[in-house]
Each structure stands twice: as C-alpha cells, then as structure tokens.
C-alpha cells in the first residue's frame, strides 16, 4: 500500500520536474501562447475591422484559437519522456501511474492553459467583446482548458509511440473537444447579450469533473499500451 505522504511527494516531484524542464526551454514554452495571440489577431485583418462583426464572432474566435493552441502543445506532454526512457521508468514506479500522469497533465495546463486566462481578456478588448462577457470568458476558459489537457492526454498516450502520430492525435481528440468549444463559446455569446449563462457553466463544470475522474486512468492505460 502506498503511503499518502510518499504518494503526494511523488506527485509534487513529477510536477516540479515537468515545470522545471518547461522553463528551461522557454522557446517551446512560448509557442502555444504566441500561436494563440497570432490566430486571434489575424481575424480582424481577414474579416475587417467592423466592431459589430468582431463583437459577434469574438467568442468563437477566442475559443477556436484556445483549442488549436492546446492541440499544438499536446505533443510536449509525453513525447520527450518517451524518447529518453523517463516515461517507462514512471510506468515502472510503485506509485499509481494515474496519479503521476495527473501531475504531468496539471503541469501541462499550468504551462499552456493558465496563461490563456490572462491573455484572453486583452484579446477580447481587441475584438470589441463587451465588458459584461469578459468575466464569463475567463470562467469558461478556466473550466474548459483543463478539459482540453485531460482529454488530450488520453490521445497523446495512445499515439506517443508513433513517429508521426500528430494527424492521428487530431482525429482522436478533436471530436471530443467540440462540446467544450460549443458550450464555452455559447456561454460568452449569451453573456454578451445580457442573458443568464449558469446552465452552460454547469455543463462545463460537469465535463471537467467527469474528465478529471476518468482521464488519469484512461491515460495511464493508454501509456501502458503504447510502451508495451
């Protein structure tokens, strides 16, 4: 039986290791955030600067950019560990793999998802998003971006052993990302119109709890399949 203090220490060590490695490669760390900013800022150039148009499509633009940014960063979750053998050592640990995997997913979200919460309101101003919708935008991203990391980890675990698994990864996880995209964008749209958004937030919260419960176990199983 695992000692709870030992298990929590292992969780912290995996989290600390991934965060340290990420900050040592600051160029790779900035790529998803820069991609997010570039995608959002290109839309006004493509559709025109009309405030009425940008205000209408702003929630969808920001959420699509966040989804694509998450896709771009998924490959960094397990790939380097698989290539240097660290992932196999983590799998052989006497600690539950699902707990250690959850630490890696949390590190991924802190590196790639959390910064979006601070940048998104600034980009919302660029797209003339009403002030009433800014709070909802941040809340939906806070609920939705962890889901993208949790679901993406399952697909990444299945494809980590493939040399060119990027296309397969997209096919696996993009359909699962769609509900998050729909409810996140609709909530911001409704908030911009002055309508209640509690229902959308409850759905996102339920999806977060569901993925938080199931994803670590599914990811651990997929990693074992990939390295066996």
Q: What is the DSSP string of 182-193?
A: HHHHHHHHHHHT
Domain parsing of the chain, residue ranges: 4-227
Q: For residues 126 and 55, what is the distance between their CA atoms, to the nearest angstrom?
A: 9
Task: Report whether 214 contacts 153 (CB < 8 A).
Answer: no
* pLDDT band (50, 70, 90) for residue 102: very high
Q: What is the DSSP letter of 197?
A: -
State the CB neighbour count (10 A cutoff) for residue 138: 17
Q: How far apart are CA 30 and CA 68, in angstroms?
A: 14
Model pLDDT, residue 46 = 84
pLDDT score of 142: 96
Of how many residues is the chain composed?
Answer: 228
Share of the chain above pLDDT 70, in %: 96
Q: Please give the mean pLDDT across all residues of the chain.
A: 88
Query: pLDDT, tens digit, for every residue of 22-80?
Result: 888 776 778 888 999 999 999 888 888 888 888 889 999 999 999 999 888 888 788 88
19-28, 81-90, 173-182, 205-214: least confidently modelled range: 19-28
Q: What is the pLDDT of residue 6?
A: 85
Position 51 scores a pLDDT of 84
Sequence-distant (6+) residues with CB within 8 A of 76 are: 22, 28, 108
Give the separation between CA 100 and CA 118, rounded to whole angstroms.
27
- Greater model confidence, 217 or 5: 217
Tell me what the mean pLDDT of segment 99-122 comes to. Answer: 92
Q: State the pLDDT at residue 72.
A: 85
Question: Does the pLDDT at position 1 exceed 70?
Answer: no
146: which residues sit within 8 A by CB, 6+ positions away?
A: 109, 113, 208, 211, 212
- Which residues lie closer than 8 Å to 179 by C-beta, 6 or more apart? 207
Q: Would you place residue 153 in the very low, low, confident or very high pLDDT band (cuts 50, 70, 90)?
A: very high
Of the ranges 45-59, 154-168, 199-213, which one carries the lowest mean pLDDT score? 154-168
> Contact 32/149 with Cβ under 8 angstroms?
no
Long-range CB pairs of 189-196, under 8 A, 24+ apart, other chains included: 189/59, 189/133, 190/136, 191/130, 191/132, 191/133, 191/135, 191/136, 191/137, 192/55, 192/58, 192/59, 192/129, 192/130, 192/132, 192/133, 194/132
104 has a pLDDT exceeding 70: yes
The pLDDT of residue 80: 81
* Closest C-alpha among 206, 129, 149 to residue 18: 149
Q: What is the pLDDT of residue 165?
A: 65
Considering the entire predicted model, what is its pTM? 0.91
């Amino acid at each position: 039986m695992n000692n709870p203090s030992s298990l929590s220490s292992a969780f912290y060590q995996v989290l600390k290791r991934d965060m340290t490695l990420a900050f040592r490669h600051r160029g790779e760390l900035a790529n998803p955030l820069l991609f997010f900013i570039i995608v959002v800022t290109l839309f006004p150039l493509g559709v025109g600067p009309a405030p009425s148009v940008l205000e209408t499509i702003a929630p969808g633009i920001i959420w699509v950019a966040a989804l694509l940014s998450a896709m771009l960063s998924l490959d960094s979750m397990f790939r380097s560990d698989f290539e240097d053998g660290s992932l196999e050592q983590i799998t052989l640990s006497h600690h539950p793999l699902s707990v250690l995997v959850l630490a890696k997913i949390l590190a991924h979200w802190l590196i790639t998802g959390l910064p979006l919460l601070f940048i998104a309101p600034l980009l919302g101003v660029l797209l003339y998003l009403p002030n009433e919708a800014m709070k909802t935008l941040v809340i939906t991203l806070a609920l939705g971006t962890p889901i993208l990391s949790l679901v993406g980890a399952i697909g990444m675990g299945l494809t980590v052993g493939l040399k060119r698994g990027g296309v397969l990864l997209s096919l696996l996880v993009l359909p699962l990302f769609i509900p998050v995209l729909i409810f996140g964008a609709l909530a911001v749209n409704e908030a911009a119109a002055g309508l209640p958004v509690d229902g959308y937030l409850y759905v996102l919260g339920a999806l977060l709890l569901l993925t938080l419960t199931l994803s670590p176990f599914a990811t651990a199983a997929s990693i074992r399949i990939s390295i066996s």
